[in-house]
Amino acid sequence: MNPPEPPEQLQKPATAIPSMAQVSRERKPAASTVLQKIRTSHPRASRIPDAVFAVIILLSAISVFAIVVLVAWELIDKSRLSLHQFGIAFFYGHDWDPVEGSFGAVPFIYGTLVSSFLALLLAVPASIGVAVYITEMCPQRLRAIISFLVELLAAIPSVIYGLWGIFVLAPLLREYVEPFLARTLGWTGLFTGPMYGLGMLAAGIILAIMVVPVIASITREVMTAVPQNQREAVLALGATRWEMIRMGVLRNARIGIVGGIILGLGRALGETMAVTMVIGNRPEVAKSLFAPGYTMASVIANEFSEATGDLYLSALVEIGLALFLVTLIVNALARLLVWSITGGTARVRA
Amino acid sequence: MGVGIEVRGLNAWYGKNQSLNSIDMTVLANHVTAVIGPSGCGKSTFIRCLNRMHETIPEARAEGSVQVGEMDVYGSGSDPVEVRRRIGMVFQKPNPFPTMSIYGNVAAGLKLNGFRNRKQMDELVERSLKLAALWEEVKDDLHKKSGASLSGGQQQRLCIARALAVEPEVLLMDEPASALDPISTSKIEELIFQLKQHYTVVIVTHNMQQAARVAEFTGFFLMGSLIEYDKTEKIFTTPADKRTEDYITGRFG
């Protein structure tokens, strides 16, 4: 671009290359005057929606922080009595005896963590399998149907899962699965003791079924988002189908998959109704997965309405606080895990 | 050393659309052969048929005879995985593995082949990167940098190194420089010229100057048929077919 020419040059006869000013003087399309008018009449008008939009977005973003802080504050405030009475001992106390007025959170923290991790152990391979089948192997026609069915699983109310757990899963576990596990894996100590059907194992399985749709649909999304050229790159090197899926798809999608697992874990940690119906609701720490347990969400749901006395109520709210903290810590650890796997580098680029 | 390619009666389809009509073509070993033609003429389909990548697209299929050295690519006992191990391919858009280091990218094919010897792998990676003229630029960041952190031209040379690491007999290149700037393009072209000492190279390009610069033989495709196939000089100076002449003089396409 030439710098703008001084005005006196405009008076010169046109040379081979006319200046910009000359060009604009020569051509005067009808629209330009209209445009001129629009441009000069509201010089700053277009900025107002921008500013409004920015404020609205900022408020939404702040509201997320505000809600978290409010929830935390409310939990701390309402559990003040219990916090004062037991102090830090609440978080390592094993006793839960409302009659004696002694409260400890360990059985519930244990129950929540064990049932959730058991659920992940079962659900993660299943979900990845479902996602791989849908994106890589399934005939085009079936694809939409299977995806829909998997997502439908997420829409079933959890009380229905609970009922199914009581009437179908528990008898199955009691009659067939638990005796088999006791015979084959009893030596580990994880599968011993009386077989009720209801218990930690049942809770883990129900939770697994409930988190499969969450993990599977997110895994499917991120696998679909892996560019086709990554698959071609691996195939062209002479990879089998499984090698292509492993190296070209799963490897590229792994951050998203871990994200899906974290969401699934979040659901498992907080799930209340179905777990309450099948876990057995006994506040103790048992090594065997056959034994009944109790989770933080379950004890709040079960005992809140019958909590007599301020200390009891306050202790239940403090369980809520513990659940809040456990969720935060688990999520933070999961993020840290993602960060360490990837070495802090970015995600798949298209 | 590279091997020659004999193509006889090759037909290819996408669903019901036939995109290649009985192609016959003989590619000489240790030469660079260019395939030119307007968009949609089937030139990419053609080279994707040579290593059976065509059939990885849903509903795509190919029939005919392709003989690469001793290997009958479409023979009854032929395994596409084995075919692709012996015929390397470089794509239009550089596609390094973003989650792997530079070293990991080059070693990927070796690992797929069950290669475990670390020392030999180091040597092969170095040799491939040198062949691809990328070694000097990346030798200090082999394990530190991701394949995606390189520039576009470097990524494409990385993809070439990745294809060369498994020591293919033939290297297929599908418009390898069309997404690159002129400097990267000239580096790739120089590289292609070097590679023919060790490999048979088939390159698809829509850039006719590029074909004229790098290839000894050129085939002109139009609407799924091979119209003319001859020495590059002949194609660009005295083409036998009117349609070839129209295309190279820019009257269409």
- State the Cα–Cα distance between residues A198 and A182, nearest whole angstrom: 15
Q: What's residue A28's pLDDT?
A: 54
Confidence of residue A350 (pLDDT cuts 50, 70, 90): very low
Query: CB distance A229–B162 less than 8 Å?
Result: no
Q: What's residue A4's pLDDT?
A: 53
Residue predicted with more confidence, A104 or A31: A104
Tens of pLDDT, residues A195-232: 999 999 999 999 999 999 999 999 999 999 999 999 99
What kind and span of H or E run contains A102? strand A102-103
Give the mean pLDDT of chain A. Answer: 87
Q: Where are the domains of chain A?
A: 79-342
Which residues in chain A have Cβ-Cβ distances shorter than 8 Å to B163? 236-237
Q: What's residue B250's pLDDT?
A: 83
Which residues in chain A have Cβ-Cβ distances shorter than 8 Å to B83? 238
Mean pLDDT of B39-61: 91
Is B143 an interface residue toward A (CB < 8 Å)? no
- For A88-121, b/e burial (b = at least 16 CB within 10 A) is eebeeeeebebeeeebbbbbbbbbbbbbbbbbbe
Q: Is the pLDDT of residue A7 over 60?
A: no
Q: Is the pLDDT of residue A346 over 50?
A: no
Confidence of residue A349 (pLDDT cuts 50, 70, 90): very low
Mean pLDDT of B205-213: 89
pTM of the model: 0.81
Q: What's residue A10's pLDDT?
A: 46
Cα-flanking dihedrals φ and ψ of residue B68, to 5°? -115, 105
* CATH code linked to domain B5-223: 3.40.50.300
CA distances from B13 to A175, B49, B89, B118 (A): 56, 11, 21, 43
- For B19-57, b/e burial (b = at least 16 CB within 10 A) is bbeebebebebbbbbbbbbeeebbbbbbbbbbbbbbebe
Identify the burial level of A343 via C-beta atoms within 10 angstroms of its C-beta, where 0-12 means exposed, 13-18 middle and 19 or more buried: exposed
Is B145 an interface residue toward A (CB < 8 Å)? no
CA distances from B182 to B152, B177, B207 (A): 12, 9, 12
Which residues in chain B have Cβ-Cβ distances shorter than 8 Å to A231? 56
Is A230 an interface residue toward B (CB < 8 Å)? yes
Nearest neighbour of B95 by CB, restricted to A230, A240, A342: A230
Query: CB distance B91–A233 less than 8 Å?
Result: yes
Is A137 an interface residue toward B (CB < 8 Å)? no
- State the Cα–Cα distance between residues A30 and A25, nearest whole angstrom: 13
Query: CB distance B159–A348 less than 8 Å?
Result: no
Q: Which CATH number fits domain A79-342: 1.10.3720.10, 1.10.10.10, 3.40.50.300, 1.10.260.40?
A: 1.10.3720.10
Is B58 an interface residue toward A (CB < 8 Å)? yes
Residue written as token pair 């479409």: B74
Confidence of residue A18 (pLDDT cuts 50, 70, 90): low
Query: CB distance B85–A230 less than 8 Å?
Result: no
- State the Cα–Cα distance between residues A328 and A314, nearest whole angstrom: 21
Listing DSSP states for A160-172 in one string gives HHHHHIIIIIHHH
Tens of pLDDT, residues A114-147: 999 999 999 999 999 999 999 988 888 899 999 9
Nearest neighbour of B95 by CB, restricted to A140, A233, A247: A233
Tens of pLDDT, residues A163-174: 999 999 999 999
Confidence of residue B195 (pLDDT cuts 50, 70, 90): confident
Q: What's residue A290's pLDDT?
A: 93
- State the Cα–Cα distance between residues A250 and A243, nearest whole angstrom: 10
- State the Cα–Cα distance between residues B186 and B189, nearest whole angstrom: 5
Is B53 an interface residue toward A (CB < 8 Å)? yes
Confidence of residue A21 (pLDDT cuts 50, 70, 90): low
- With a pLDDT cut of 90, the percent of chain B lying above it is 56
Mean pLDDT of B35-39: 90
Is B151 an interface residue toward A (CB < 8 Å)? no
CB atoms within 10 A of CB B104: 18
3-state secondary structure chain B: CCCCEEEEEEEEEECCEEEEEEEEEEECCCCEEEEECCCCCCHHHHHHHHCCCHHHCCCEEEEEEEEECCEECCCCCCCHHHHHHHEEEECCCCCCCCCCEHHHHHHHHHHHCCCCCHHHHHHHHHHHHHHCCCHHHHCCCCCCCEHHHCCHHHHHHHHHHHHHHCCCCEEEEECCCCCCCHHHHHHHHHHHHHHCCCCEEEEECCCHHHHHHHCCEEEEEECCEEEEEEEHHHHHHCCCCHHHHHHHCCCCC
Confidence of residue B11 (pLDDT cuts 50, 70, 90): very high
**Rounded to a whole number, what is the distance in Å from the CA of B155 to chain A's nearest CA?**
13
Q: Where are the domains of chain B?
A: 5-223
CA distances from A214 to A18, A197, A277 (A): 65, 26, 21
Mean pLDDT of B42-60: 91
Q: Is the pLDDT of residue A336 over 90?
A: no
Tens of pLDDT, residues A261-284: 999 999 999 999 999 999 999 998
Listing DSSP states for A35-79 in one string gives HHHHHHH-SSTTHHHHHHHHHHHHHHHHHHHHHHHHHHHHHHHHT
Q: What's residue A170's pLDDT?
A: 95
DSSP A103: E
Confidence of residue A9 (pLDDT cuts 50, 70, 90): very low
Interface test with B, best of A141, A237, A241, A244 (most B CBs within 10 A): A237
What the block records as the tokens of A206 is: 């129900």
Which residues in chain A have Cβ-Cβ distances shorter than 8 Å to B85? 237-238
Q: What's residue A140's pLDDT?
A: 84
Tens of pLDDT, residues A44-92: 567 888 899 999 999 999 999 999 999 999 999 999 999 999 988 899 8
Residue contacts between A and B (CB atoms, under 8 Å):
72
Q: Is the pLDDT of residue A345 over 60?
A: no
Tens of pLDDT, residues A226-252: 999 999 999 999 899 999 999 999 999
Which residues in chain B have Cβ-Cβ distances shorter than 8 Å to A238? 81-86, 109, 112-113, 166
**Rounded to a whole number, what is the distance in Å from the CA of B169 to chain A's nearest CA?**
13
Mean pLDDT of A296-325: 92
Q: What's residue B40's pLDDT?
A: 87
- Locate all alpha helices (DSSP H) within chain A, ordered by sequence: 20-26, 30-41, 47-78, 80-86, 106-132, 140-155, 158-164, 170-172, 178-185, 200-225, 228-236, 241-243, 251-270, 273-278, 296-303, 310-342
Q: What's residue A17's pLDDT?
A: 59
Query: CB distance B53–A232 less than 8 Å?
Result: yes
Q: Is the pLDDT of residue A25 over 80?
A: no
Which residues in chain A have Cβ-Cβ distances shorter than 8 Å to B146? 345
Closest CA to A210 of A257, A157, A253: A157
Q: What's residue B5's pLDDT?
A: 92
Q: Is the pLDDT of residue B185 over 80?
A: yes
CB atoms within 10 A of CB A313: 17
For residue A227, the chain B residue with the least C-alpha distance is: B95
Lowest mean pLDDT among A27-31, B44-48, B240-244: A27-31
Contact between A264 and A130 (Cβ < 8 Å)? no
For residue B93, the chain A residue with the least C-alpha distance is: A229
Which residues in chain A have Cβ-Cβ distances shorter than 8 Å to B141? none
Is A247 an interface residue toward B (CB < 8 Å)? yes
Nearest neighbour of A233 by CB, restricted to B51, B97, B166: B97
Cα-flanking dihedrals φ and ψ of residue A278, to 5°? -120, -10
Cα-Cα-Cα-Cα dihedral sign, residues B70, B71, B77, B81: positive
**Rounded to a whole number, what is the distance in Å from the CA of A233 to chain B's nearest CA?**
7
Query: CB distance A237–B108 less than 8 Å?
Result: yes
Is B176 an interface residue toward A (CB < 8 Å)? no
Which residues in chain B have Cβ-Cβ distances shorter than 8 Å to A346? 98
DSSP A12: S
